[in-house]
């Protein structure tokens, strides 16, 4: 992003690093990608940035605060990709498909950020800092699909939640290899087809009240 990946994170101008905060965030993202959330270590991040183990505490309260910062960057990047995917298409269906693919692409290409966002302790950053969420873009993309006003019994927010959950589930099952290894299923196709089914099912079943046992 702001720091080119090619730059040596440990480059420093002297006693002071000069840009340690960003270097640590970038190092954390890399290490998360390489070793997963489990194997991530503050000391490693400091090492990769070329500073002592205590230096990070000048910029982050503790390890979790650094991870939260990685997660925050991830949420912003993610939202940008989602709105970008939405804008690139005029056909609402194509836009929707693009957003689904963007979701999987993000999970695949930014596993470090993705891990920080969801596999962490669950305490993500306060949503206020994110600005427009990927989810909001999703709801916006959904409205032209269901019509305005939406048919009786079709709440765009609920449908968006279902699309979101489906995307999330596919991404996680795919990340742990359970989809490809177990059933030879292509995650992209699976998600796109599933989203189409959700939308079509919602519209064809409009007017029915959900029963909750």
Give CA–CA dist 211/213, Å, rounded: 6
Binding to DNA by residue 51, rule CB under 7 A? Answer: yes
Answer for which of 58, 158, 168, 208 binds DNA (CB under 7 A) is 58
CB atoms within 10 A of CB 201: 12
Residues 171-190 that bind its own copies (CB under 8 A): 172-173, 175-177, 179, 182-183, 185-186, 188-190
Task: Pick the piece of the chain touching DNA (CB under 7 A) from 51-59, 107-115, 151-159, 166-174.
Answer: 51-59
Answer for which of 13, 181, 183, 189 binds DNA (CB under 7 A) is 13
Q: What are the distances in angstroms from CA 114 to CA 19, 107, 149?
A: 24, 6, 35
Give CA–CA dist 13/118, Å, rounded: 35
Binding to its own copies by residue 85, rule CB under 8 A? Answer: no
Binding to DNA by residue 38, rule CB under 7 A? Answer: no
Residue among 192, 194, 26 at smallest CA distance from 97? 192
Binding to DNA by residue 59, rule CB under 7 A? Answer: yes
Q: Of 66 and 99, which has the nearer Cβ to DNA? A: 66
Task: Name the binder of 75 from DNA, its own copies, none, CB < 5-8 A by kind.
Answer: none
CB of 1 to its own copies, least distance (A): 24
CB of 69 to DNA, least distance (A): 13
Give CA–CA dist 21/46, Å, rounded: 10
Q: Of 46 and 102, which has the nearer Cβ to DNA? A: 46
Binding to its own copies by residue 158, rule CB under 8 A? Answer: yes
Taking the CA atoms of residue 93, residue 98, residue 103 and residue 104 in that order, the dihedral angle to the nearest 10 degrees is 110
Q: Of 58 and 87, which has the nearer Cβ to DNA? A: 58
Binding to its own copies by residue 165, rule CB under 8 A? Answer: yes
Binding to DNA by residue 17, rule CB under 7 A? Answer: yes
**Residue linked to tokens 């990608």:** 33
Give CA–CA dist 85/75, Å, rounded: 15
Q: What are the distances in angstroms from CA 165 to CA 12, 42, 103, 149, 161?
A: 43, 31, 11, 24, 6
Give the number of residues written for the chain.
213
Residue among 98, 68, 69, 93 at smallest CA distance from 81? 98
Q: In the complex, which residues of this chain contact its own copies (CB under 8 A)?
A: 36, 38, 97-98, 101, 118-122, 124, 127, 135, 157-159, 161-162, 164-170, 172-173, 175-177, 179, 182-183, 185-186, 188-194, 196-202, 204-205, 210-213
């Amino acid at each position: 992003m702001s720091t080119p990946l090619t730059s040596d994170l440990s480059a420093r101008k002297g006693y002071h690093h000069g840009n340690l905060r960003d270097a640590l965030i970038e190092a954390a993202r890399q290490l998360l990608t390489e070793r997963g959330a489990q194997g991530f270590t503050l000391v490693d991040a400091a090492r990769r940035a070329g500073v002592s183990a205590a230096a990070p505490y000048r910029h982050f309260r503790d390890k979790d605060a650094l991870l939260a910062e990685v997660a925050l960057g991830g949420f912003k990047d993610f939202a940008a990709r989602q709105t970008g995917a939405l804008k690139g298409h005029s056909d609402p269906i194509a836009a929707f498909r693009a957003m689904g693919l963007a979701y999987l692409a993000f999970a695949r290409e930014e596993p470090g950020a993705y891990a920080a966002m969801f596999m962490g302790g669950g305490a993500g950053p306060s949503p206020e800092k994110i600005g427009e969420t990927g989810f909001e873009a999703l709801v916006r993309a959904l409205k032209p699909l269901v019509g305005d006003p939406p048919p009786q019994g079709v709440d765009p927010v609920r449908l968006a939640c279902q699309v979101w959950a489906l995307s999330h589930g596919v991404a996680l099952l795919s990340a742990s290899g359970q989809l490809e290894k177990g059933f030879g299923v292509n995650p992209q196709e699976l998600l796109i087809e599933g989203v189409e089914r959700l939308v079509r099912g919602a519209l064809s079943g409009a007017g029915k009240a959900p029963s909750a046992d």
